[in-house]
A and B are shown apart, each in its own frame.
Chain A
Amino acid sequence: MDIKTKLKQVLIEELNLEDITIEEIGDDEALFGEGLGLDSLDAVELVVVVQKHFGVEIKDMEEGRPALQSINSLAAFIEEKQK
């Protein structure tokens, strides 16, 4: 499973997004606000989810803000940190 698909699966499971499927999450879709509709509480949960499932720590909002824009940006951040 590639990292983007795994990210989508983890998002659905850990954030209990029962009303959408992996296929319905676009790679470039905004995670917060208009796009997927996540909120600030999800952002905190996402930081934990990324560390738990990918072993990558998002240290602060300066680092997190650009990474948490979309599946593409988060996958790129994780891949960069895992190098």
Chain B
Amino acid sequence: MTGLQINGLGLVGGFGCGAEDLQVALEKREAPVSRVNLRDHLFPLFQADTAALGNYLNKRALRRIDHFSRLALLGAFQALEDVGPLELNRERLGVIIGSGFGALKTTFGFLDSIIADGDACASPTAFSNSVHNAAAAHISMQLKLTGPSLTVSQFDQSLVSGLLSARQWLAEGRVEAVLLGVVDEYCQVLGYCWERYFGEQISSKMRPLDFDHFSAVPGEGAAFFLLQAEADCAAKYGIIDSVVMGQLWGSRPTLIPGQPLVLGCEGHPLNGGIYRQQLPENASVACYTPLYGAAPVTQGFDLAVAALTLKRGEMFPSADSGGDYYSGSVVTEARKVNRLTCLRYGFGGEYAVIQLKGNG
């Protein structure tokens, strides 16, 4: 395939806002876990703050934009800003948004309002924000991007699905660049479901390499990438060499021996067993989900970490160093690298593999 250059990053999550905040969290190997109100108690969450969006838009422009779309907009603005002086033709810039859950707060709020006040009093604005492509629409309008727009919802394969579409658009020459972002948000219904499913197992310390025990903490946020076809000029953050999505029922992911793996495991025993069974014995792994939490689209943050890694040419130490519960090889110290793979297994045996390389 034609490689995809990563030339801009936009990030907001529990670790903070922007690539610098993520880099600080990677170096410290920790990020703060917030405590949010859930009925009569506090609930752990990697919470994302969109206050920095005020640097790009005034309050009047933001008034119809909900938290989900604000996360997306903040990521989008940052990614375009990060491109720097590079001239982008906004008529030939495509937008692809991926989300596992969509605008949860608005969707449930809208449904609640119908129950409380009847359908005649349902808010038109809340309805328009509850549709999955609202975030893409806000981005296109606010950033004046008039290229093609697509919203993908394939749970935790939304990122790779979006990457495959981006690659296709660039290969066809439909666009000169793609602004691709993944977004998911927390809402109280999600917290309620989380507790119903996982009950007393909930902790605030993630140990994702402990494949047998639950330790996932929910997270929210957005990860955006400005992608362009591989060219003679160097990529700002490295190049996506290959994107594969599949299902273990019919195939196995092809992993390159010796290439470090950034694992998307999040402390769910449901798919922890798959990681344990499928990982090559001598694989060198790192996992950074303890810096942004668990959500369908956190592979977007894994990809951002990979991009930052290739930019500096050195792996960040894994946020979970393993210990007694993981006997394999974990990246615990910074080490030189020019190629790496992001690997994520879903609960039903789906897999998503993104292989990246540095410049030259």
Residues of A that sit less than 8 Å from B by CB: 14-19, 37, 41, 44-45, 48, 51-52
Contacts and interface: CB of A to CB of B under 8 A. Distances in A.
Given A18-B63, A44-B124, A48-B120, 19 more contacts: A14-B123, A15-B63, A16-B63, A16-B64, A17-B60, A17-B63, A19-B58, A19-B59, A19-B60, A37-B60, A41-B124, A41-B125, A45-B123, A45-B125, A48-B121, A48-B122, A48-B124, A51-B121, A52-B121
The size class of the interface chain B forms with chain A is 10 to 19
Nearest to B117: A52
Contacts of A41: 64, 124-125
A76 B114 CA distance: 28
B174 to A, nearest CB: 31
A18 B51 CA distance: 14
Interface in B111-142: 117, 120-125
Nearest to B122: A48
Nearest to B63: A16
Most interface-central of A15, A17, A45, A52 (chain B CB within 10 A): A52
Nearest to A17: B63
A60 B59 CA distance: 31
Interface string B56-67: 001110011000
A47 B92 CA distance: 39
Interface in B38-73: 58-60, 63-64
Contacts of A37: 60
Nearest to B60: A19
A51 B120 CA distance: 8
Those 6 A-B pairs whose CB atoms lie nearest each other, nearest first: A16-B63, A52-B121, A19-B59, A18-B59, A44-B124, A48-B121
Contacts of A48: 120-124
Nearest to B126: A45
Nearest to A44: B124
Contacts of A14: 123
Interface string B15-48: 0000000000000000000000000000000000
A16 B117 CA distance: 19
Contacts of A52: 117, 121
A17 B62 CA distance: 10
B124 A45 contact: yes
Contacts of B59: 18-19
A14 B63 CA distance: 10
Contacts of B123: 14, 45, 48
Contacts of A16: 63-64
20 contacts: A14-B123, A15-B63, A16-B64, A17-B60, A18-B59, A19-B58, A19-B59, A19-B60, A37-B60, A41-B64, A41-B124, A44-B124, A45-B124, A45-B125, A48-B120, A48-B121, A48-B123, A51-B120, A51-B121, A52-B121
A81 B25 CA distance: 59
Contacts of B124: 41, 44-45, 48
Nearest to A19: B59
A41 B63 CA distance: 12
